Chain A
Amino acid sequence: MLKSKRPASSYPVMKTLQASLAVSCLLWIGLAAPAPLDAAESSQPESRKSPYFIDGLHCEGLDGLETGDDLTRAYPDEVADMGIKTRHQEQCEWIFEKSGVRKFQWVTPEDLEKLDFILKHSRKFAAAAIRIEKSELQNHIHLIGRFEMFEPKTFYQLRLSQGLERDQTDGDRNTSDVEAKFHFKKRGTINPAPFVLGFKYRSTDAAAPMNHNDLSRNGKGVTFTSEEKIAQSRTDATYGAVTTRFQQANGFFFSFALESSHMSGDSESTLDTHFETGVETQLDPLLPSVTRLSLLYSNYSVEGGEFYASKARGKNYRSIAFAGLAEDIQTRWVKGKIELYRSLTPELHYFLNMDLAAPLLTYASVTHSLGISGGSIRGAVLPEHRFGLPDRTVIQYFYQGEEGFSLTGYDLKVGLKVGLATYKAINNLDTPYSQDQAFAELGLKTKTDDFETTFAFLYGNRRLY
């Protein structure tokens, strides 16, 4: 017969420890947001078939999460031992609570079946199983969870890409992209790492770069973003960025990014500094879809160039704050993200990104003759409006197929992506600037528990993003 393992909190030190250390110890695990079982139903035992009353919640296998080194250093062994047990019990009850079950609650066998399914398929644990044992009274139970946690590992992501874009009118362009990310102490494939460090570098050149007036058909000025400046091929341009992201298990995050670009041909440099903080919530513990609310502050400065917007004209920097709402969608049928950022300053300034892909051939076969074992069709719409200047809309559609093979012990995937894209700048509604593009990308990707590496080569006509 199990008894509650929660130690009596009569020790003053334990009361403070319970309050102050509960959040920090949960940093070690990333768990799903609550998906409470129907509380109204659960509290009506008479109307349910064979309800159980939960007398106690217990967990096995959480020891590796909390070593309690700080407690053993600061307190005598007996006190430290009790502190560690208290932390384990709080973690245990928190895990069950996030999956919809609390102590002293009525549950049905169907509720337990659902809880078992949630814990096993949330992908938060390497393994999870629950069982019930009889308590003293009829239909009173102890609920015991047995968990195996993922080992914390550093996960490396590296992407190298080379682009060759040809255009008879505007000239050729060569682009090199390098992107690296380090996810420190990441547990498994889905739990967010407490800290992520990223680097981006891009260099590009073009024989005949475009200028701002190419987008302006009605005499109004146009300001390019740093991405656009690089993308539309300034002479000998380079772009670099450092990104950091701190994430807590309770969903709060803080990120900082520093982006800089330099156009040698124009003697122009830009510096964009971002701070973003907010909270992420996983509404359904079975789907790794994340809803994010955030505040973003951006400071954008230009040296050797100028802003064309009426309010920003003459200044060489601009500060602006945004409220953001984002949804990362990871379902069986659709993967992608929708992001909407709206300026908190009076002038119109917002941007909306939609990037959704529907994977094909997972469990359904589609009539096509490409003969590739797995594939997806992606549609991306990236409209944005910056600094009071024209809306730019980028629409991309492409088919991406991948075929896996094994080489010297590594599982590799060779992928082919073919697509069409339209870039449209609505500076003048009668004659919006637009450019169509066709492209193909050949990629080679390998992914293990420790790293993901992608090499890609892109060929197409000139693009503006």
Chain B
Amino acid sequence: MRRLLPLSLILCNATLAHALDVCPSYHRIHEREIVPRIKSGIPFKLLSIAADDRNSFRRIVRIEYDLWNETLSIEVLGRQKSVSTLKEASAKICEALSLKEIPDKQTYQYRLMLNPVLGEGLQRLKEKSDGRSGLLEINWHRLAKDLETEKTLIESELM
């Protein structure tokens, strides 16, 4: 019984405060996709979005690199902003992309998108109207799958 107690506590905690861990997937693409973007000196955005049939959870992260100071500004739009070096960029960015507010442990369709076209506009729309306005109903599930973007960096099912 004592042996089972830590396991049950872990399961209980996971159910109450589940965070979608995107870091394993993110680390695989960081060197190949993100580092060249950072070194180009042009600011860019990443949209981290997880959706199922009923809900969607999103986070938009803006990354800006200072060529002279060689520091990285990582801003989660609408939330916090931090400064990082290029060496610790992978950990800092994946932490910023993690969706900590997901309530239940279940399977989500996850996409990480580079420079999404409508990311911020949709975020505002969702916050203001909850996606509903009379006749029209925003199809978030479809958006999570088909949103126009410069490149889809990660597309998978995550738990």
Contacts and interface: CB of A to CB of B under 8 A. Distances in A.
Classify the interface of chain B: helix, strand, loop or mixed.
mixed
B55 to A, nearest CB: 16
A224 to B, nearest CB: 41
A94 interface: no
Nearest to A49: B64
Interface stretch (B26-34, B41-49, B86-94): B41-49
Contact of B42 (A50, A112, A138, A366): A112
A132 B115 contact: no
A113 B139 contact: no
Interface stretch (B15-23, B95-103, B105-113, B130-138): B130-138
Interchain residue pairs A-B with the least CB separation, the first 5:
A131-B40, A132-B41, A364-B136, A113-B43, A109-B43
Q: Which of B40, B64, B66 has the most CB of A within 10 A?
A: B40
Nearest to A110: B43
Interface string B47-73: 000000000000000001011100000
Interface string B127-159: 000000001111100110010001000000000
Nearest to A146: B40
21 contacts: A109-B42, A109-B43, A109-B64, A112-B41, A112-B43, A113-B44, A116-B42, A117-B115, A120-B115, A121-B117, A130-B42, A131-B39, A131-B42, A132-B41, A132-B67, A133-B41, A138-B68, A363-B142, A364-B137, A365-B137, A367-B135
A16 interface: no
Contacts of B137: 364-365, 367
B42 A113 contact: yes
A356 interface: no
Q: Which of A112, A116, A364, A367 has the most CB of B within 10 A?
A: A364
Contacts of A129: 40
Given A109-B42, A132-B67, A363-B142, 15 more contacts: A109-B43, A112-B41, A117-B115, A121-B117, A129-B40, A130-B42, A131-B39, A131-B42, A132-B41, A133-B41, A138-B68, A139-B68, A141-B67, A363-B146, A365-B142
Nearest to A108: B43
A363 B40 contact: no
A133 B41 CA distance: 8
Nearest to B65: A109
Contacts of B117: 121
A117 B42 CA distance: 10
Given A50-B66, A121-B117, A134-B67, A364 B42 contact: no
Q: Sort chain B's interface into a size bin.
A: 20 to 34
Nearest to A139: B68
B150 A120 contact: yes
Contacts of A131: 39-42
B66 to A, nearest CB: 7
Contacts of B39: 131
Contacts, number: 53
Q: Sort chain A's interface into a size bin.
A: 20 to 34
Contact of B138 (A120, A121, A363, A367): A363
B58 to A, nearest CB: 15
A120 B138 CA distance: 26
Interface in A121-158: 121, 129-134, 138-139, 141
Nearest to B64: A109
A134 B115 contact: no
A39 B44 CA distance: 23
A132 B41 CA distance: 6
B139 A364 contact: yes
A363 B42 CA distance: 29
B41 A366 contact: no
A366 B139 CA distance: 10
Q: Which of A110, A131, A366 has the most CB of B within 10 A?
A: A131
A114 to B, nearest CB: 10
A120 B117 CA distance: 11
B139 A132 contact: no
Contacts of A134: 67-68
A383 B139 CA distance: 37
A382 B125 CA distance: 36
A402 B66 CA distance: 49
Contacts of B146: 363
B68 A366 contact: no
A121 B139 CA distance: 23
Interface in A37-78: 50
A50 B136 CA distance: 42
A127 to B, nearest CB: 10
Contacts of A133: 41
Contacts of A110: 43
B68 A365 contact: no
A363 B135 contact: no
Nearest to A109: B43
Contacts of A132: 40-42, 67
A363 B137 CA distance: 9
Contacts of A112: 41-43
B40 A130 contact: yes
Nearest to A121: B117
A247 B138 CA distance: 40
Contacts of A109: 42-43, 64
